[in-house]
Structure 1
């Protein structure tokens, strides 16, 4: 009796949909894109296809970067920008996370606050700058408040959604075991939502970097945004591009650090 032929299983390749790639391959592909990007950039600028007035070449950008660090104290500008981002972001997180937990856990509080928070999160933080200058001047408080306004309402809603999507069976089991309302929040909702809250904070931190540049473009005497504004007045596209790249690099490093901390604190969440 002939044996039944087994169904053939199609071979998978790296381009198979949803097929994961190894860490080494991921890093190589990520670096390859940056190499390709710089190569295309160099081709058009060094080849004379784009005027240096509109786009500096990679070589010119590197020269301007050296000048920024050696003659213009750019490291101080970087430090001020980092301080403003994390200062405004931490202020927003300290206020927004507890409010988000309360909104997600208690539906009357959500009904009371959600319309106002949803309204405010659509308001651009840059629109508040004239008012903030009137209220707080052009010092550090104004810049921290721009980042705070741009971050706080986003965090509140995202945390509320994360807490409110807790598994109902776990909540009912806790009630069966005699837990009260406060115990449900402390022992079920917050621990279950903690990885999602951490991921929310990581995402909003990336948005905070966009708000700080807006805050530094007006009434600022230091920071990366201030340097970009000065370079724009001088048509120095090399310094402008380098400032943008520095922002991206710092944001990328902070994102990787945030991911590493989240994986260490909530390793069980990825199981």
Structure 2
């Protein structure tokens, strides 16, 4: 073996090893612990501490009344009461169920509608006026009607979440299908792929990034839609808890609930991001 050939083989071994999952994790860890990243993290923590200290001082000094703003310590003291006596996590599960069920319904029906409209010109011509007209209707104006038809139970909020997400899935699916490259379709036809095989193995994978992008947006919107429906009319859920806190001007409880909802939203969005990287679009991150 010549020296040049040996060096080439060594380079290939190093390159292969650097692509292993362990090497990738080690590289990411070194990047996360770099001096620049640690400096940024330190600056962020100092900013948060400064804001919390300022809020605490404004309330404790009486410069802002507690009816308008709650201090961080007051907010923390409210959490045991929310968790034990007002069943924070039980109400959270109700709101999450409404958001997940409405999103799942919007995903299935919206993607199916988008596939039909994206693949069939006749289907698009037939459905487009109805979908466009339905999307133009302000959602807020029909919520009182939904309350009349469905009551104030869980189904009422599921339909509201569905309405907020359905059109997003429809048009993102259509956009994703129209982005399929002609060369991919020609290769599929050249290999004798049937219509169904072309749709399943070429068109839908190509449209997947647009569909997943809609799912990511809907993840944040769904919780807001469920909360909005609960604030309008509900018997339980985080929106109902917000309503009761607003009704008695309990500012500390209100801020505690807003903080809880923010944390839950971040966790849900993070879970969707991981689902995208590990399952839905795993091929993009290999």
Residue in structure 1 matched with residue 282 of structure 2 by the alignment: 267
Distance 1:217 1:79 in 2: 16
Larger Rg: 2
Q: CA deviation at 1:130?
A: 0.7
Contact 1:136 1:142 in 2 (8 A): yes
Q: What TM-score, normalized by structure 1, do the two folds share?
A: 0.83
- Determine whether 1:40 maps to 2:51: yes
Distance in 1, matches of 2:65 and 2:227, equals 26
Contact 2:115 2:177 in 1 (8 A): yes
Where do residues 32-111 of structure 1 align in structure 2 (5 Å cutoff)?
A: 33=44, 36-37=47-48, 39-47=50-58, 48=61, 49-111=63-125
User: TM-score if structure 2 supplies the norm length?
Assistant: 0.79
Q: 1:161 aligned to 166, 175, 183, which one?
A: 175
Higher helix share: 2
Shift in CA distance, 44/250, structure 1 to aligned 2, threshold 3 Å: closer
Alpha-carbon distance between aligned partners in 2 of 1:31 and 1:125, rounded to the nearest angstrom: 43
Q: Which residue of 1 aligns with 2:192?
A: 178
Contact 1:133 1:142 in 2 (8 A): yes
Question: Cα–Cα, structure 1 residues 35 and 230, in superposed 2: closer, same or farther, change >3 Å?
Answer: farther
Please report the RMSD computed on the Cα atoms of aligned residues, expressed in angstroms: 2.4
| Deviations 1:159-202 (CA, angstroms, capped at 9, x unpaired) | 21112211111012222333343332122101222233223212
* Unaligned segments of structure 2, at least 5 residues: 1-29
Shift in alpha-carbon separation, 1:28–1:86, aligned structure 2, 3 A: farther
Equivalents in 2 of 1:188, 1:27: separation in Å? 43
Aligned length: 251
2:259 paired residue among 241, 245, 253: 245
Distance in 2 of aligned mates of 1:57 and 1:122: 42
Relative to structure 2, which stretch is displaced further, 203-212 or 100-109?
100-109
